[in-house]
Amino acid sequence: MFCAGYLPPRPSPARRETIIDERLSPGTRRMEAMGRTTLSLNPASHLYDADIEPRYTVGFPAPTRHDVTFEHIDMDVQKVVRRLTRHGHEAYLVGGCVRDLLLGRQPKDFDVATSARPEEVRDLFRNSRIIGRRFRLVHVLFQGGKIIEVATFRRNPKDDRDDTDDPSELLIRNDNVFGSASEDAMRRDFTMNALFYDLEARQILDWCGGMEDVERRVVHTIGDPETRFREDPIRILRALKFAGRLGFAITPDVYDAIVFCREALALAARPRVSEEIMRLLRGGQARRTIYLAWETGVLDVLLPELSSLLYDEGTEDGPSARQWRVLDYLDRRTAEVGPLDDSVLWTLLLLEPIREACEGARDRSTVVADFLEPLVERLALSRRYIDNIRRIVAIMPRIATGRPGRFARTDIFDAAVEVAFADLVANREPTDLLLKFRAVAQPPRATPRVYEPAPNPRRGPAHRRRTP
């Protein structure tokens, strides 16, 4: 019997219908009727606001336009967009920031998409530089190390391909072909992430039913889910991340495609997979997202050591229930202090499997290192993390006694206190002995994604890993 009242048991397929929404989103129905790759996705003409003429030739097809006024858009982003448009280019806010503003959430960062080529953008902003070799985009630097990312519209290179029956041929290896605004919207992953905001007209431009999906709070791919997941399997993790983080439902066709395509994650670039796992954990809804990953079988592909432990539902004090409580605690802690350090996140994610591996072992350090070794190959887990996890696990018992001794002066101490605290909470044991360490030890924080300190330009550009 699973720990009643803590997490629901894995739902049967029939019950799944109650947690996910109806069969297809309106946007997808429209797309299915009209065919995705032809880009003939014009919504019905009555949806247009006839009074508003587009200021630019945004290319065919015309988007649905929605009047929306957002407050609190970063002033520097506004400057960037306005300078681009004053010079005759199209420029919009795009992606996660538009979605988050619509949902009343604070965007993590603001991205700009434009018709201007990278060199043209660079020439317009003295304080800018082109980054990336294959996919070139421009970083515009502002005071305090703020960076606004400006990307030229691109299109999905696979839209040019002849139809193929071989699913492996769908994998996108080069995502760097310039395109129009509508093509740039269509190459994006989910309808809610493909909304463009026109600052001057105060309108959202929607080519693929994103507004309706945001209103209905559903995650839906742009076009056929299986094709989009095979093109880039990382999108599977992104679907789970957004569903978990935003509390959105996953439509059944997308859900089924996740289950069907999950093995394709083995084809994705491993550092991207592990970075996306970290993002799932940082988002404040780790338990819900890991539950979805487990339920869909994605966890079987990525972390079989964890998913098999979770299958063994056991008692309320058993490893599976404890691991869910660890994740629950992780979310509460993230809400209190912001995203935790990556070494802490990895350790918490694997805490119970590691404990199981260490049972009865005299040399816990070696056991932990051996246990983590397969993750180096599977997820490109770096040696630095392995070493940190090993050290955290080694000193946890000392911390739990309240007498860490010389370990209190090591660089891993704060991280180990975080993990030891989570462990006590998950075991329903008192935490008062650790409170004094916490008063001193600030939890290690993750670095923000975009607003990072500007590197010295004379040392050459810093290459930031970029999801396509």
Q: Which residues of the shown chain bind ligand ATP in the complex (CB under 6 A)? A: 95-96, 108, 111, 188-189, 193-194, 232, 234-235, 467-468
Q: Is 49 a catalytic residue?
A: no
CA-closest candidate to residue 129, choices 153, 150, 152: 150
- For residue 96, state whether it binds Mg ion (rule: CB under 5 A): yes
Q: What residue is closest to ligand ATP based on CB?
A: 96
HSE-CB for 46 with a 13 A CA cutoff: 0
Residue 235's binding partner among ligand ATP, Mg ion, none (Cβ under 5 to 8 angstroms by kind) is: ligand ATP
Q: Is 160 a catalytic residue?
A: no
- For residue 283, state whether it binds Mg ion (rule: CB under 5 A): no
Nearer to Mg ion, 100 or 341 (CB): 100
Nearer to ligand ATP, 158 or 322 (CB): 158
Q: What residue is closest to Mg ion based on CB?
A: 96
Active-site entry in 175, 184, 189, 331 = 189
Nearer to ligand ATP, 232 or 331 (CB): 232
- For residue 43, state whether it binds Mg ion (rule: CB under 5 A): no
Nearer to ligand ATP, 82 or 108 (CB): 108
DSSP sequence for 9-57: PPPPHHHHHHHS--SS-HHHHHHHHH-TTTT--PPPGGGS-TT---SS-
Q: State the Cα–Cα distance between residues 174 and 161, nearest whole angstrom.
A: 13
Q: Is 189 a catalytic residue?
A: yes
Stretch that binds Mg ion, among 13-21, 89-97, 154-162, 276-284 (CB under 5 A): 89-97
Active-site entry in 21, 109, 206, 232 = 109
CB of 124 to ligand ATP, least distance (A): 22
- For residue 319, state whether it binds Mg ion (rule: CB under 5 A): no
Q: State the Cα–Cα distance between residues 53 and 402, nearest whole angstrom.
A: 68
Structure tokens at 461: 């550009």
**In whole angstroms, how far apart are CA 245 and each of 26, 34, 55, 242, 280?**
23, 31, 35, 5, 8
Residue 89's binding partner among ligand ATP, Mg ion, none (Cβ under 5 to 8 angstroms by kind) is: none
CB of 110 to Mg ion, least distance (A): 9
The SS3 of residue 218 is strand
Q: State the Cα–Cα distance between residues 281 and 346, nearest whole angstrom.
A: 9
Residue 65's binding partner among Mg ion, ligand ATP, none (Cβ under 5 to 8 angstroms by kind) is: none
Nearer to ligand ATP, 410 or 467 (CB): 467
Pairing of strands 196-198, 203-206: antiparallel
Residue 234's binding partner among Mg ion, ligand ATP, none (Cβ under 5 to 8 angstroms by kind) is: ligand ATP
Q: Answer yes or no: are the C-beta atoms of 1 and 231 closer than 8 Å.
A: no
CB of 96 to ligand ATP, least distance (A): 2
Q: What are phi and psi of 143, to 5 degrees?
A: -55, 145
Q: State the Cα–Cα distance between residues 391 and 9, nearest whole angstrom.
A: 34
- For residue 339, state whether it binds Mg ion (rule: CB under 5 A): no
Stretch that binds Mg ion, among 88-96, 200-208, 270-278, 306-314 (CB under 5 A): 88-96
Task: Measure CA 260 to chain center.
Answer: 21
Q: State the Cα–Cα distance between residues 67 and 45, nearest whole angstrom.
A: 16
Nearer to ligand ATP, 231 or 423 (CB): 231
Active-site entry in 21, 111, 206, 414 = 111
The SS3 of residue 129 is strand
Residues of this chain that bind Mg ion (CB under 5 A): 96
Residues involved in catalysis: 109, 111, 189
